[in-house]
Chain A
Amino acid sequence: MKNAIIKLLLILLTLGVIAWANQTLDSYTLSILNNIGIFAILALSYNLINGVTGQFSLEPNGFVAIGAYMTALFLIPAADKIDMFALVDPAPVVLQMKANFLPAVLAGGIAATLVALLLSFPVFRVRGDYLAIVTLGFGFIIRIFALNEPAYTNGAMGLNDIPGIANFMWIGSFALVTLIVMLHIVYSKFGRAMKAVRDDEDAATAMGINTFRIKTTAFMTSAFFEGIGGGLLASFLTTITPDQFSFLLTFQLLIIIVLGGLGSMTGSLVATILVMGSMEWLRFLDDDMVIFGMHTGAHPGMRMVVFAILLIVMMLFARRGLFGDRELPEIFRKKFGKRMRHE
């Protein structure tokens, strides 16, 4: 009971801080916070399938794209669509799509979930690595589809003038909801089953766990929130094209969840802030280079080399990331509470 009250107060406090930030901060700071919020949603949900369930997949860019397009099509008024679709006329169903913000974002999540269900049949029929390669391929196919079905997506032109409703109030709240849901899953019976599948699939099966069901559920849940993140991204940016959902997006998320610790939700959250922050921090270096008149083009892509090395080094020497697969409260408890045996 006491715990529940503390949790409720924490949630209300966070919402209050989000509302305050949304009102008072300047647009640049808010846009960084919005980026962090969206990436946190994506990283948390990606961690559920990769970290908690141990199924190495590479699809977030695909699900984010589905969510983004779905939400955008629901939000853009029909008249704008007719004007915008320059290649072919929009499909009738596209013109009929119309919804308020919240249902539009949820529709993005649901669409991604359904696609995840379809994908799970070929993918989870076999064990292991095929998930990685099929999901990687799926990310490509979604982009190819977006490029080649202009009646639904406006092809390479992409969608623009998407109503920019997603402010930090929305994005921050969705990030909070995602965190709460994910923590609940991790601590639930389901979460324990997922971890059992990760640690030893044969043993899990022997214990009577339906591993196909567990994996599919984790995959679909993950897809749902990735779709939502995509919807928020579309409305936040107001313009989307197939290109922006490339593998690079997935790679960034992979770095985040590895850094935070595979399986640790709070770890992913902290790592999102660190990685997104360092991206901006490295921009300060760019600034300096311009001020001192140095050749900015001297190291194109160096940031990415550094991130790739970071990922490899972490896998070799610090595979557990920041928090291992534990959550922040547990770590606090261990540190300040009863002395526990060292791991």
Chain B
Amino acid sequence: MDFATFLQQLVNGASLGSMYALIAIGYTMVYGVLRLINFAHGDIMMVGAFLTYMATAAGLPFSLAVLIGILGSVIVGVLTDKIAYKPLRNAPKISLLITAIGISFFLENLFNVIFGGVPKAFSAPDYLTKVLHLGEIYLPVTVIIIPVVTVLILGGVLWVLYRTKYGMAIRALAFDIPTVKLMGVDADRIISIVFALGSALAAVGGVFYAVSYPSIDPLMGVIVGLKAFAAAVLGGIGSVTGAVIGGFILGFTEIFVVALFPELGGYKDAFAFFFLILVLLFRPTGIMGEDLERSRF
């Protein structure tokens, strides 16, 4: 690999990694509070991309379409919690997980019924699909925009968590739900906020994903969702900063293994799970996490 190709692959890795990071943040937030692997998170991302697609197809300007996509995802996410997860807060964990799988399957198949399984072409404005030339290096503008957005969002989320009273409530809930309730906090409202925030992040991730890879289909969230989860565990589940680090590690690994060992290209989707298993075997707390059972933000 010559130096130009190496730089190019570095750019490719940053681009992919920031995508995983963005989605992993939402995953880790919901997990941090509810200790629930929200299997539907990847599908919420799909919903965000599809709603944006529909809005642009209806002729709305892109920025408005994205807003609709985010709002729609927030509604779907919060409704999911109210309808499917809330009644099961005191039920065995397994019921919650099964319901989450059910929601995930429901969303995928519902969109499959409505839109069909054939991928749709996602059209984004030119300023997002431009490619810059830096000598021999080709730099899609999304490679710059996505990490910036990810860092901004990370900052925003950290600000909410550590500088607002909602954030304090969220962090408190992550420790102990019953006690926080006793202290007069409306736990359900806070949990709704967490879902709204998580779903909005998923939608933003979905839109950027669709901008970078402009082919969307009802199953687009499945693998990405799983990988984002693996990234979150790698970084230390429950840790927002860890999720970002995990996402970038995963992105760089995928790109460089494929670049250096093309014959391993078929195994690309497996890396995330190898990481997952390695982490569980040797450092169950992940990179940033402290204690798996009691992880915090």
Contact = CB atoms under 8 A, between A and B. Distances in A.
B101 A251 contact: yes
Given A122-B280, A144-B267, A312 B106 contact: yes
A251 B101 CA distance: 8
26 contacts: A54-B92, A58-B101, A125-B280, A126-B280, A126-B292, A129-B35, A133-B229, A133-B230, A134-B276, A136-B226, A140-B273, A141-B270, A251-B105, A254-B101, A262-B94, A299-B113, A304-B112, A305-B109, A308-B103, A309-B102, A311-B99, A311-B105, A315-B88, A315-B99, A316-B84, A316-B99
Nearest to B31: A129
A309 B106 contact: yes
B177 to A, nearest CB: 16
Interface string A297-338: 001111011011101100110010000000000000000000
Given A134-B277, A311-B98, A301 B113 contact: yes
Nearest to A55: B94
Given A137-B272, A140-B273, A308-B105, A126 B94 contact: no
Contact of A129 (B37, B274, B276): B37
A312 B84 contact: yes
A77 to B, nearest CB: 28
Contact of B91 (A141, A305, A319): A319
B208 to A, nearest CB: 24
Given A125-B281, A126-B292, A254-B98, A140 B270 contact: yes
A50 interface: yes
Contacts of B126: none
Query: Top 3 nearest A-B pairs by Cβ distance?
Result: A137-B273, A308-B106, A148-B266
A130 B226 contact: no
Interface size class, chain B: 35 or more
B106 A128 contact: no
**Interface centre among B88, B101, B230, by most A CB within 10 Å?**
B101
Interface of A: 50, 54, 56, 58, 121-123, 125-130, 132-134, 136-138, 140-141, 144-145, 147-148, 251, 254, 258, 262, 299-302, 304-305, 307-309, 311-312, 315-316, 319
A194 B87 CA distance: 27
Contacts of A305: 106, 109-110, 113
Contacts of B63: none
Given A137-B226, A144-B270, A128 B105 contact: no
A304 B109 contact: yes
The majority secondary structure among interface residues of chain A is helix
A125 B105 contact: no
A129 B30 CA distance: 14
A160 B105 CA distance: 31
B246 interface: no
Nearest to A130: B280
A315 B270 contact: no
Nearest to A298: B113
A251 B100 CA distance: 12
B5 interface: no
B226 A300 contact: no
Contacts of A315: 84, 88, 95, 98-99, 102
Contacts of A54: 92, 94
